[in-house]
Structure 1
């Protein structure tokens, strides 16, 4: 019998390995710029590149290091096939708006191709067909209806009973002429080109607020200001709400990924299952060898079973259907979904003329991130964008948004109350190394993690955003909020918003 394959001990995304990233300083003083950008992922870096080409003075900051957030934990498919979505969009938004959505995605793909050629970027770009497959009779009708939507929208596609992927399936819907790439290799060059054009980039610089005087200013945690004409919030979750009420209009989900060497050769294409738990598959290259990237197991952040079990489920799937030779990497990602599944791209609220936001890409940030950068660049440059009205954050569709608004916020209330009423009095002395528990210390709900060196790290589990109680994420060694998706390190530092302040540390000696 073959030895069971083990997961890597620590999460690390495939994308960041073997790339020589430049490092950037921390912002140590107040500065001025035409446009201040918060967030060093695909939206922020692409917007910096586009604006700097127009001789706009750009200052970009990131709370951590650039390209280490959601963009660094992606599947990196450049596709307009965003699950089974077009039949639904036609019903909710109409044919014209749905066609705009598709065209926006394909323009993003064309932009990536053109930029690769112009800058001679080696980023493993390849054309691939995108495929939704199902092995469930329940989803066959949905795929048939989606193919009708493709035909209505003039999308080149094919409904088939068989594809090359050797995973059980009864029906598959193919979208032709899509692509995949290595996003960090691509964006690294765009960051370098932006700096050549005069853009300033700062790392380990956290934005906490926006204030207005004559011009808007980004306020950092250290109290420095970036005074500018316009601000772009490209920080995944908006750090500044501007009365847009984003925590009530989006929910956070986590998904998990493995990169493996498999016994079977990848057949070409990019695949995603229609049914849940989701299985998304594509290939990539590592040191001249083919690897499989397998993603799935989504769930609301801070909710559900132990997160390490999701990795194990992907491992079991890969072993059963592909045969594993080696597990190379594991990582997870967090995606934000809006009430109507369309991203919010534009002015943060109707009252704000100078602050722009891009958020809520679901799992499809590669194409939507480029779309966002282009829309925001057009708005700042006072050019007409054919897509601005479609994505505007000020929209609120009664169907299906109103029902989802009620359901999403009822879920938040449930977890807020549940955390407050929960009684726990676990003994921290029973913890083994690399384990955590929730207990009560001096009457306070406290999270305690015991590290590899048997040192204890204790934090108040009350999320600093809106007071929900965080839960332990064993797969990532983080404290995650089930209400709005904030995530904290085991020492309490903010890893993902909307929270701005760290969890309060608890002294176990008292």
Structure 2
């Protein structure tokens, strides 16, 4: 049986350290407030700071420590089997605009890293989308044709440097991989040098879209800004109703040391076997770090430990000499039409903008978002602005939208019809969590290894769906919109901004 590391720790978080920035305790008055300091938020703040704006970058936790700190860090304009679908949904021009905006973002990272002297381990490598089934080769040919028409240098190949055979692959040239935190933390340092203000541990809980806009922090501080960018991965404010057009999903990651002579020299992705993504990174003399992602699932589905073991077993089967040293998980959201939402927050917005729905391709899309939002805020409008505009609606979006809402309704209603996930608190084993009806209402109860229990409300503070327990990461997750909470109820990931309320457990017989 595969031996996985006991702890969940991202390699990027372990090796990409930086200074801490203070929580905001007083009021601020700036040109632009950027909420969320992942790749999109940091890129936007840096672009605006370089353009001369007075910028405040506000993060509820630590910089680049959420989704961005747990990514695979592929920097690519090849986003799976996407371009054939884009051409069908948005036309040849829409596909071309997508490819151009994404490839320019890839190239911009190299340019900025060179300009600022950032050692972020950036490597130019090809990207591959491959299939092991011969039945899929025609699909690969159609994708390569659409990608070429969109402007990428793409071809169909039958040979790769993977240590196992493939039926075929779409190869895209001029892509890249890098260390995301080393790059982004250097951008933050440059932003501060330009006069930007950065605050960690500063959760924004309210937004007044006036002229100027006003933000309020969890601690009561006020921020006045002409413009606001919401770059919180999943928008923390619901006035745009994006929760009906975004579907959250999680993916697992394992990483380990591989002899350098076994490096497959590229970034690889297949949608087979519930997704498998492969890349390497610099590690040590004669070694590379192999990074494998897959086992896509919706938050709250359970059996995460089993999924991680399955991913690790696949990795060791395909790369027998790897020694697994890390494991972690990432979360992202996919829009109902497959293109990110970047632009004005909603039809009535004049000074509030959003970046969300990167569909697992946050590195290039986050950098693209920073360039696009900076242009919109400073009076420009790139040719692809309408492609990403969150106010768009397409007829082809309807089936996906109905599917997303059907899934939400299933959890919102169906989870309440279950009498309980366990009958009593005593049924919960050490190191596990479950929903239990206590005093007539459902509670989310966790029991630690010592036997002590901790109970919180089972209702997500976003829109009220019931949370479920992630057994591997020991967290409560909302299956509707992806909010995540620690076992004590504190918010790990939005859209929720308020913690799960604590619930008392009666002594003795703890449940009814």
Which stretch shows the higher mean deviation, 178-187 or 442-451? 442-451
Q: Tell me, yes or no, if the aligned pair for 1:318 and 1:324 is still in contact at 8 Å.
A: no
Residue 293 (structure 1) aligns with: 291
Q: Is structure 2 residue 158 aligned with structure 1 residue 161? A: yes
1:136 offset after TM fit, Å? 1.7
Counterpart of 1:259 (choices 255, 258, 262) is 255
* Mapped pair 1:246 → 2:242: yes
1:343 aligned onto 2:318: no
1:509 deviates by 3.6
Q: CA deviation at 1:151?
A: 3.4
Aligned to 2:411: 415
Q: Distance in 1 between matches of 2:134 and 2:322?
A: 32
Residue of 8, 13, 33 corresponding to 1:11: 8
Counterpart mapping for 1:396-415 below 5 A: 396-399=393-396, 401-415=397-411
How far has the Cα of 1:370 moved from its partner?
A: 0.7
Secondary structure of the equivalent of 1:357? strand
Q: How does 1:107-186 map to 2 (within 5 A)?
A: 107-186=104-183
Give the superposition deviation at 1:458. Answer: 1.1
Structure 1 residue matching 2:247: 3-state secondary structure:
strand
Residue number in structure 1 paired with 2:278: 281
Supply the distance in 2 between the matched residues of 1:212 and 1:80 (Cα, whole angstroms): 34
Q: How does 1:73-88 map to 2 (within 5 A)?
A: 73-88=70-85
Report whether the alignment pairs 1:376 with 2:366. no
Q: What aligned pairs does 1:296-445 form with structure 2 within 5 A after superposition? A: 296-303=294-301, 305-399=302-396, 401-424=397-420, 425-445=422-442
Q: Give a deviation string over 1:57-116, Cα, whole Å, max 9, x none.
A: 111111101110111111111111100010111011000111000000111011111101
Deviations 1:375-420 (A, max 9, x none): 1000111123222111000001011x11111111011111111111
Give the gaps of 5 or more residues in structure 1.
none
- Larger deviation: 229-238 or 379-388? 379-388
What residue number does 2:510 align with? none
Distance (whole Å) between structure 1 residues aligned to residue 97 and residue 322 of structure 2 = 43
- 8 Å CA contact retained: 1:121, 1:186: yes
2:451 aligned with 1:463, yes or no? no
How far apart in 1 are the matches of 2:89 and 2:283? Answer: 42
Query: 1:324: Cα distance to partner?
Result: 4.8
Deviating above 6 A after TM superposition, structure 1's stretches of 4 or more consecutive aligned residues are none
Taking the aligned partners of 1:286 and 1:154, their CA distance within structure 2 comes to 33
The CA deviation at 1:287 is: 4.2
Q: Using the TM superposition, give the Cα deviation of residue 350 of structure 1 relative to its aligned residue in structure 2, in angstroms.
A: 1.5
Cα distance in 1 between the residues matched to 2:165 and 2:457 = 46
Is contact 2:31-2:227 (8 Å) kept? yes
In 2, Cα distance between the equivalents of 1:53 and 1:89? 33
CA distance in 1, matches of 2:414, 2:271: 32
Distance 1:326 1:5 in 2: 10
Q: Once the 2 structures are TM-superposed, how far is the Cα of residue 326 of structure 1 from its aligned partner? A: 2.4
- CA distance in 2 between partners of 1:167 and 1:335 (Å): 29
User: For the residues of structure 2 that align with 1:287 and 1:453, how far apart are their CA atoms?
Assistant: 40
Give the 3 Å change call, closer, same or farther, for CA 212–506 of structure 1 in structure 2: same
Q: Give the Cα separation in 2 of the matches to 1:502 and 1:277.
A: 32
1:247-278 CA-to-partner distances (Å, cap 9, x unmatched) read 00111000000111246711201100132411
Let me know the Cα RMSD of the aligned residues: 1.5
Tell me the CA shift for residue 325 of structure 1: 4.3
Rounded Cα–Cα distance in structure 2 between residues aligned with 1:114 and 1:151: 24
CA separation in 1, counterparts of 2:247 and 2:472?
A: 21
